[in-house]
Structure 1
């Protein structure tokens, strides 16, 4: 396997752990793929929200998991691009109802593995059905 194919497979495997961690609200899984100093950011709710992992994980721990609500998974990798031998950018889609997310993840290869160093995302919320 050439280096590029191997790197792509390694990043895709990290992204699958990421998807599984979100679906199960499992911060143990997520901590295996996020760098401890990673940044979580969005401006989808008007004002910027910027957190570090020690602020983000309690939010995940406090919410019911999509798996516990039998939500259908919508996980999808739109693209993985390599900016160099130790930097990658991934565009993903997933849902945690009622929100549908587009995530842009920056990954770095440190400590002999790929880790997410930044998560910047946009979400759209479902509108309630009219009664």
Structure 2
């Protein structure tokens, strides 16, 4: 597979993990030392590690369980080199639309998300 196809698969697994609130799947696509961040709720920065983020996902009612229509897409993937990439993706959960900027690294032969920085918009 090409780097682009490998990254697209990681992003599809990311979308599936969010839609099903499947933290086992998310743990495969996020590097264990990844960060999750937004300043969307005002001036304060929200920053979480994966240890802090996964319990939040586990506590959610999944969009799949509510039979929500899937609304996720990849806007762009930029390769910086053989081991670093950036993706801009969009997805919706409930009444909120998310634009995510995902930085990815390739370590041990596989791509993983090392940071998620996002913006929330009501839909």
TM over 0.5: yes
Partner residue in 2 for 1:67: 64
TM-score normalised by structure 2 residue count: 0.97
Displacement of 1:98 in angstroms is 1.5
Q: Which runs of 5+ in 1 are unaligned?
A: 127-131
Q: How far does the alpha carbon of each residue in 1:24-58 deviate from its partner, in whole angstroms, 9 at most, with x for none?
A: 00000000000000000001111210000000000
The counterpart of 1:21, out of the listed 1, 9, 17, is: 17
Mapped partners of 1:36, 1:101: distance in 2 = 22
Residues paired across the two proteins, number: 122
In the TM superposition, structure 1's runs of 4+ consecutive aligned residues that sit over 3 Å from their partners are: none
Q: Which runs of 5+ in 2 are unaligned?
A: none
TM-score normalised by structure 1 residue count: 0.91
Q: Please show how residues 23-42 of structure 1 align to structure 2 within 5 Å.
A: 23-42=19-38
Matched, 1:83 2:42: no
The two structures, once aligned, show a CA RMSD in angstroms of 0.9
Partner residue in 1 for 2:114: 117
